[in-house]
Amino acid sequence: MAKLYSENSIKNLKNIEPKEETVNFLLSYSKALSVINCNKLKFEVLLN
């Protein structure tokens, strides 16, 4: 299989950090998400 990425691009990916607003969005979404198991079914409910 051909090499698709150069080593420079892989080195640059190690220094990526998310923005604070992205982290806050994901945390608030995960707090509002509720999964309900009913027999073999799973229901995902967003409590907003």
Q: What is the pLDDT of residues 1-48, one digit of tens each?
A: 556 666 666 666 666 788 999 999 999 988 999 999 999 999 999 886
Report the pLDDT value the prediction gives residue 11, as an integer from 0 to 100: 63
Report the pLDDT value the prediction gives residue 47, as an integer from 0 to 100: 81
Report the pLDDT value the prediction gives residue 25, as an integer from 0 to 100: 93
Token pair for 44: 């995902």
Please check whether residue 34 is in contact with residue 45, taking contact to mean a CB–CB distance below 8 angstroms. yes
Report the pLDDT value the prediction gives residue 17, as an integer from 0 to 100: 85
- Alpha helical stretches, state H, the chain: 7-13, 20-32
Please check whether residue 45 is in contact with residue 36, taking contact to mean a CB–CB distance below 8 angstroms. yes
d(CA 28, CA 30): 5
